[in-house]
Structure 1
Amino acid sequence: MRSITRGAVVAAAVATVLAPAAAQAAPVTDSVGLLGTYGFGRAEVIGEAGLRSGAWQAYSVRSGYTGDDLLVGHPVRTSPLAAETVVYTAAFNEVADPQGECRKVGAAGVANRVWVSFRCRTGFVPSYTLLVR
């Protein structure tokens, strides 16, 4: 019994010493929230593009009855980025209303303080690129 107690005390001490180091090594995510519900498959595309662009640090997709929910982990932005960053492009052959989707993602990002401002730049053959600051 004594050896079990001694082992538990040693394990607790090691965990106490190592826990702060593990917490410091983890990336900082100030906020995690729902960015919106998008068409089936679109949340995954938007989530991956946002991750690659650095707009957020993590994302997950939750499927529902009306579409896919996009949840993102991101630092809270209170001031604009120094330069515009391209998050993703919605093309007419990928989504029924690329301009509407671009505006919806942009506005949701401002509301959730993922970015401070956005604009949707139109391209040739109706496509819209989301640029954020």
Structure 2
Amino acid sequence: MRRIHATVLAATATAAALLAPAAAQAAPTSTTELLGTYGFGRAAVIGDAGVAAGVWRSPAVHSRFAGDDLTVTFSPRTKPRASEQLVYTAAFNEVADAQAECRKVGADGVAHHVWMSFRCQTGFVPSYTLYVR
């Protein structure tokens, strides 16, 4: 009887391990997603800046009717960084509305779990620097 009980327990443990929920299984180490659509020419600048900052890799830009789509490969964040990290600065002579672009890139990053939070800081002229956690 004891042997049957042990066999049933072993079979139950094996079945539970095989049918474990996805949350218990290992999360993907990286993912590739569309981050967002930005002004013509801006997606490439933002993509290169994100690579230089180390927040993503392999940026790909695809021109569309409304702007350039930026697709990036990154490791999804579940916790904020210990300190803020500078991603890029949008200067007034490079983009029509640097503040709006900074806020959009920051919000897109939060929505896709590239970072957990962001802050746009104004510079000496109407430029905005994107900081993320």
For normalisation by structure 2, the TM-score amounts to 0.77
Contact 1:29/1:57 (<8 A) preserved = no
Q: State the partner residue of 2:117.
A: 117
Q: State the partner residue of 1:14.
A: none
In structure 2, C-alpha distance between the alignment counterparts of 1:76 and 1:48, rounded to whole Å: 19
Q: State the partner residue of 1:88.
A: 88
Quote the offset at 1:29 in angstroms.
5.4
Corresponding letter in the other structure for 1:103: R
Gaps of 5+ in 1: 1-27
Percent sequence identity over aligned pairs:
65
Listed one character per residue, the Cα deviations across residues 23-72 of structure 1 (whole Å, up to 9, x for unaligned) are xxxxx851111111111100000000000000102210011111100001
Give the greater-gyration-radius structure (CA): 2
Question: SS of the residue aligned with 2:44?
Answer: helix
In structure 1, C-alpha distance between the alignment counterparts of 2:31 and 2:110, rounded to whole Å: 13
RMSD of aligned alpha carbons: 1.1
Q: State the partner residue of 2:12.
A: none
Alignment coverage as a number of residue pairs: 106
Q: State the partner residue of 1:98.
A: 98
In structure 2, C-alpha distance between the alignment counterparts of 1:55 and 1:49, rounded to whole Å: 9
